[in-house]
Amino acid sequence: MADTARDPPPESTDFQELEDGEDLFPEPAATQESGPASLPAEDISTNSNGPKQDSLFDDDPEDLFAEATEEVSLDSPERDVLLSDGPSPAITPITPPTSVITPRIGLAHDDMFTHSSFDEIEEEEGGDSFDIHIAVSDPEKVGDGMNAYMAYKVTTKTSLSLFKTDEFSVKRRFSDFLGLHSKLASKYLHIGYIVPPAPEKSIVGMTKVKVGKEDQSSNEFVEKRRSALERYLMRTVKHPILLKDPDVLQFLESSELPRAVSTQALSSAGLLRMVNKAADAVNKMTIKMNESDAWFEEKQQHFENLDVQLRKLHASVESLVCHRKELSVNTAQFAKSAAMLGNSEDHTALSRALSQLAEVEEKIDQLHQDQANADFYLFSELLGDYVRLITAVKGVFDHRMKTWQKWQDSQLLLQKKREAEAKLQFTNKPDKLQQAKDEIKELEGKVQQGERDFEQISKTIRKEVSRFEKERVKDFKTIIIKYLESLVQTQQQLIKYWEAFLPEAKAIS
């Protein structure tokens, strides 16, 4: 590689400089975020009432009964287990009766919503009007030793009539959030709604907190978790359907909540969940669906790609956070070293300048530290959330496949029964024939239901995906802009520091 050497120091010869004409700082950005930023609520709008609540509880008898006679197949045990889990037996029956029947009603009212009210909601929410804000704050340790846990204050501010008051708060612990999620998942995932995943458990992290180490890393862990819980709730209530779910309302409003026992990692329910997950994975591999709808095929591919890209991006951002923290540490060390050098320099003005340099570098290291936090809380955590969300989205597609499978299975069974019936026609067994005819009638109903379910879930997924994509783009845009703003802050600070230093350097003579 032949290269010429003559070049002045890199004076940005190949860098296109932007015009200096523009006002550098049109208006100061929001006050400097010194700590991790929480996602602000969207702007309050004039929308006051959500859709009427009455529609929630209208019965759709046909559907109810269809549910009741369903055979238990592999995909429902999870739901069934959780169904019975609703109000956990060990807890005082504070739960309002609705939660017992919600799973079934859930299905019913979903039909209602997707037919009419959902559209209604979309229209009313047209311009991102969303009047609810949830904050998770004040983590405090309750109890001692291994039974200790962190309690978080969940404050809701809203003007939606869905709620009894404008502002209220409750105390919740981590397992409460997990419990909420598992209830929502059991109700909505299998019919195609993208239920936001709850923050991840961390045995290591929690143990440190329980053991009582009041150090930086356990504080960071608690802050990370607090922030994640807040994002989780905001995402959940942003979903127009989930917002109205009684479990969600109860979670936000009730002062006491039955303890969600089955969320413990090592409980029997936990084990059952793991088994089911494995079974699902196997099943997924064996289902070969005839995709007649190109949209779904395309979207599935899209989400596969997105998954890969987000994971890669997440890894890069985590690497950046790590390197920036390193940079902060190294800058601090250099600052000390420069100060020492300044001390031993015997030319007075140079000595002073070097000490000033040391001070500047020390301030810069703090800037790097803050920037690293911003990188992390704004960027990295968001990406982590989305990686998990994509998993939920993929799950929803899988549920559609299962629904299809169920429908196909019913169809096959129907066909078999019809063939059997045809054969029976030629024998002289009137009662068996009648039985066959009855079974066929039943199966025809099932097949119709299966088809309806499939169409329903397909329709729901379409809406959900479009909503999801809109949210994703918005989220990312918001975050990037916030992130860039934090960079601007950093730049402004840097300018201040170096401008203060320059005259000192020039004063050396």
Partner 1 sequence: VWCMMGYVCLCTDATLQVDISDALSERDKVKFTVHTKSTLPNFKQNEFSVVRQHEEFIWLHDSFVENEDYAGYIIPPAPPRPDFDASREKLQKLGEGEGSMTKEEFTKMKQELEAEYLAIFKKTVAMHEVFLCRVAAHPVLRKDLNFHVFLEYNQDLSVRGKNKKEKLEDFFKNVVKSADGVLVAGVKDVDDFFEHEKTFLLEYHNRVKDASAKSDRMIRSHKNAADDINRIASSLYSLGTQDSTDVCKYEHTHKIEARVAADEDLKLADLLKYYLRESQAAKDLLYRRSRSLVDYENANKALDKARAKNRDVLQAETSQQLCCHKFEKISESAKQELIDFKTRRVAAFRKNLVELAELELKHAKVKGLVTVRSR
Token pair for 67: 């549910």
The identity of residue 237, as a single letter, is V
x/- map, 459-498, partner 1, by CB under 8 A: -------------xx--xx--xx--xx-xx--xx-xx--x
52 lies in the site for partner 1, by CB under 8 A? no
* Cβ count near 417 (within 10 Å): 18
- Nearest CB to partner 1, comparing residues 81 and 488: 488
* Binding status of residue 15 toward partner 1 by CB under 8 A: yes
CB of 480 to partner 1, least distance (A): 6
Determine, following the binding rule CB under 8 A, whether residue 7 of this chain makes contact with partner 1. Answer: yes
* Segment 78 to 107, residues that bind partner 1, using CB under 8 A: none
Supply the DSSP symbol for 231.
H
The distance of closest approach from Cβ of residue 246 to partner 1 in the complex, given in angstroms and rounded to an integer, is: 34
Give CA–CA dist 97/102, Å, rounded: 9
Nearest CB to partner 1, comparing residues 290 and 344? 344
Identify which of residues 112 and 327 has a Cβ nearer to partner 1 in the complex. Answer: 327
Residue span binding partner 1 (CB under 8 A) among the ranges 94-102, 131-139, 302-310, 429-437: 302-310
The answer to whether residues 353 and 508 touch, using CB atoms and an 8 Å cutoff, is yes
Instruction: Answer yes or no whether residue 448 interacts with partner 1 by CB under 8 A.
Output: no
**How many CB atoms within 10 Å of residue 447?**
19
Binds partner 1 (CB under 8 A): choice among 272, 413, 420, 505: 505
Best CA proximity match to 403, nearest among 452, 343, 470: 452
Q: Least Å distance between CB 304 and partner 1?
A: 14
| 389 sits near partner 1 (criterion: CB under 8 A) | no
The nearer residue to partner 1, 277 or 496, going by C-beta atoms, is 496
**Partner residues linked to 275 by β-bridges:** none
Shortest distance, CB of residue 340 to partner 1, whole angstroms? 5
Closest CB 394 distance from partner 1, rounded Å: 17
If the CB atoms of residues 2 and 68 are measured against partner 1, the closer one turns out to be 2
Q: How far is the CB of 381 from partner 1 (least distance, A)?
A: 15
Q: At what angle do helices 294-344 and 381-425 cross, to 10 degrees?
A: 160
Strands (E), 73-178: 132-142, 149-158, 167-173
User: Measuring CA to CA, how many Å separate 478 from each of 134, 471, 474, 475?
Assistant: 18, 10, 6, 5
Shortest distance, CB of residue 488 to partner 1, whole angstroms? 5
Q: Give the interface size with partner 1 as a residue count (CB under 8 A).
A: 73
Question: Of the candidates 101, 70, 86, 125, which has an alpha carbon nearest to the alpha carbon of residue 241?
Answer: 125
Residue in the block written with tokens 């509880």: 57
Note whether 506 binds partner 1 by CB under 8 A: yes
User: Structure tokens of 91?
Assistant: 């807890």
CB-nearer residue toward partner 1: 163 or 501: 501
Decide: is 18 part of the binding site for partner 1 (CB under 8 A). yes
| Contact positions with partner 1 (CB under 8 A) in 167-196 | none
With respect to partner 1, which residue has the nearer C-beta, 388 or 459? 388
Q: To the nearest whole angstrom, how small is the minimum distance from the Cβ of residue 343 to partner 1?
A: 8
Q: Does 9 bind partner 1 (CB under 8 A)?
A: yes
Q: Of 281 and 329, which has the nearer Cβ to partner 1?
A: 329
- Restricting to residues 306-365, name those near partner 1 by CB under 8 A: 306, 309-310, 312-313, 316-317, 319-320, 323-324, 326-327, 330-331, 333-334, 336-338, 340-341, 343-347, 349-350, 353-354, 357
Which residues lie closer than 8 Å to 243 by C-beta, 6 or more apart?
A: 50, 132, 162, 236, 237
What's the closest the beta carbon of residue 31 comes to partner 1, in angstroms?
16
Name which of 432 and 477 has its Cβ closer to partner 1: 477
Residues contacting residue 132 through CB under 8 Å, at least 6 positions apart: 41, 156, 157, 158, 160, 237, 243
Using CB under 8 A as the binding rule, whether residue 1 contacts partner 1 is answered as: yes
- Residue whose CB is less far from partner 1, 23 or 54: 23
Q: Take residue 253 and report the two structure tokens written for it.
A: 């409003």
Q: Tokens for 479?
A: 């975050």
Q: Is 428 in the site for partner 1 (CB under 8 A)?
A: no
265 binding partner 1? (CB under 8 A): no
Query: What is the Rg, in whole angstroms, of the alpha carbon atoms belonging to the chain?
Result: 30
Q: How far is the CB of 214 from partner 1 (least distance, A)?
A: 29
When the beta carbons of 437 and 506 are compared against partner 1, the nearer one is: 506
Q: CA torsion angle for 499, 504, 506, 509 (degrees, to 10)?
A: 180
Largest CA distance in the chain: 119
CA 333 vs. chain centroid, Å, equals 39
- The residue among 134, 130, 131 whose CA lies nearest residue 39 is 134
What's the CA gap between 300 and 298, in Å, rounded?
Answer: 5
> Considering the rule CB under 8 A, would residue 366 count as an interface residue with partner 1?
no
- In the complex, the smallest distance separating the C-beta of residue 494 from partner 1, rounded to whole angstroms, is 4
Stretch (H or E) spanning 191: none
Residue 22 in the binding site for partner 1 (CB under 8 A): yes
Q: Of the two residues 123 and 499, which places its CB atom closer to partner 1 in the complex?
A: 499
Give the closest residue to 209 by CA, choosing from 198, 220, 218: 218
Residue 457: CB minimum distance to partner 1, A: 26
Helix 174-188 vs helix 77-85: crossing angle, to nearest 10: 130
Q: Directed axis angle between helix 216-238 and helix 203-211, to 10°?
A: 130
As given in the structure block, the two tokens for residue 85 are 């889990």
Q: Does residue 508 interact with partner 1 by CB under 8 A?
A: yes
